[in-house]
Amino acid sequence: MPLLEILQLKKSFLAPDGSNHCVIDVPGLALEEKEQVALCGESGSGKTTLLHLIAGILRPDSGSINLAGQEVSNLSEPERDRLRAMKIGYIFQTFNLLPAFTCLENVLLGMSFGPGADRGVAEALLQRVGLSDKFKHYPRQLSTGQQQRVAVARALANHPKLVLADEPTGNLDQRNARDALSLIREVCRENGAALLLVSHDREVLAEFDSVLELSKINQATASTSAIAHS
């Protein structure tokens, strides 16, 4: 059984004009354990929404999301919070580090909602991403590349089964983007985590063996495109 299996997933939002705007309509998507898949699509194609649905941040209108044997869409909100803390690592385009917390505290905080804060594990992860001398630095004292490394360490801190990365290189220059991408892929591999990475950067996508185009698997955006073209 795949680590992640999505079936007949639908999500709509209320548009400003009062109509229902379907953003996600994915008949099927699967991700095996330890598999690394890139998901590409234009801005507004529903990439982030899909990740939010998988992470249990949003609840689907219909369909199924099965993650590690658990039906995400059937879980209560606290159960989805728990699932997210225990089994999912999230890396954001804007890193989303907490500015008032040091690097180490950012990682520890991520752990505290999951299995529990473990200073040793957090320090080892920061060392692994090359920040052994930055434990007590605040995000504002780090370069953007270093901030993204902290975000990677935080995402991996709870030994998640699945890492969701939403445009993780979008705010980095070319060199840092390359370094960050290889770091994410390496640490996911080392930790046995599957990776679902969203990007529209061709260079990033070229690094992956498996690339899914959201416009092909998401019938909602496909139909929108069709309407737009007609």
Which helix H or strand E contains 22, and what residues bound it?
A: strand 20-31
How far is Cα 21 from Cα 45, in angstroms, rounded to an integer?
Answer: 12
Q: Which is nearer to other proteins, 32 or 213 (CB)?
A: 213
Task: Specify which residues 198 forms β-bridges with.
Answer: 39, 166
Binds other proteins by CB under 8 A, chosen from 33, 81, 179, 213: 81
> Of 14-22, 29-37, 104-112, 204-212, which segment contacts other proteins by CB under 8 A?
104-112
Q: Does residue 49 bind other proteins (CB under 8 A)?
A: yes
Q: Does residue 66 bind other proteins (CB under 8 A)?
A: no
- Listed in sequence order, the residues at least 6 apart from 89 whose beta carbon sits closer than 8 Å to its beta carbon are 154, 155, 156, 157, 158, 160, 162, 163, 164, 193
Q: Does residue 105 bind other proteins (CB under 8 A)?
A: yes
To other proteins, the closest distance from the beta carbon of 230 in angstroms equals 25
Q: Which is nearer to other proteins, 32 or 75 (CB)?
A: 75
How far is Cα 50 from Cα 4, in angstroms, rounded to an integer?
Answer: 13
Query: Which residues inside 1-40 make contact with other proteins, applying CB under 8 A?
Result: none
Residues touching other proteins, count (CB under 8 A): 40
To other proteins, the closest distance from the beta carbon of 43 in angstroms equals 5
The owner of tokens 């999500």 is 11
Cα–Cα distances in angstroms (integers) from residue 100 to residues 109, 154, 179, in the given order: 12, 15, 26
Residue 62 near residue 8, CB atoms below 8 Å: yes
Q: Does residue 101 bind other proteins (CB under 8 A)?
A: yes
Instruction: Give the pair of three-digit tokens for residue 42.
Output: 């234009």
> Of 62-70, 103-111, 123-131, 217-225, which segment contacts other proteins by CB under 8 A?
103-111
Report the side by side order of strands in the sheet with 194-199: 88-91, 162-166, 194-199, 36-40, 210-213
Beta strand pairing call for 36-40 and 210-213: parallel
Q: Which is nearer to other proteins, 188 or 198 (CB)?
A: 198
Site for other proteins, rule CB under 8 A: 41, 43-45, 47-49, 52, 55, 57-58, 77-78, 81-82, 84-86, 90, 92-94, 96, 98-101, 105, 109-110, 112-114, 117, 154, 166-167, 170, 198, 200
